[in-house]
Amino acid sequence: MQKRAFIIFLILSVLWTAFIFCNSIKTADYSGKQSKYVVDIVVRILETSDVSYDVEALTYMIRKQAHAFEFALQAVFIAMTISCKYIKLRRFTVHILFFGLLTAVADEYIQLFSSGRSSSIADVVLDFAGYLIGLSLFGSAKFLFGRLRGSAGGKNRTSVVGETI
């Protein structure tokens, strides 16, 4: 079970990283159309309430949150992959963080070659912040899961897939 979970999360990590890079390759027009689709849904929801909004600001927020979400999910997949193989993630924290930063920089670099797109250091920081949030959520969930199972700090350690190690 442990090996299967490792392979599944490794595949998810690779596919999700590829998904991030594929989004970077898309032209500005295509990327804008994808964002507009989501913005239109949010606008329809906001129109049912008496909330005022600016469509440009809303579009900007949604685009930036999508980036952060992509990287947060990538961090969870990477942490799950490492966690399936090793109990102590702390030994791999620098590697995990470096991979997230490397992906964020590569993502912005790829955008330099996409029609109508540009890259910015602010976006690297935003992407990496999303990655840190995902890693923090994973660490918190793992800690709470360990506490609930009564194994945190105890002799019987539990892996992320629930097996006693």
Q: In this structure, what is the dihedral angle of CA atoms 80, 82, 88, 92, given to the nearest 10 degrees?
A: -120
Residue-wise pLDDT tens digits, 21-32: 999 999 989 988
pTM: 0.82
pLDDT at 1: 65
Helix extents (H) in 48-120: 55-85, 93-111
Residue-wise pLDDT tens digits, 103-151: 999 999 999 998 998 889 999 999 999 999 999 999 999 889 888 887 5
pLDDT at 86 over 80: no
Arithmetic mean of pLDDT over the chain? 87
Q: How far is Cα 117 from Cα 60, in angstroms, rounded to an integer?
A: 14
Residue-wise pLDDT tens digits, 43-57: 988 888 878 888 899
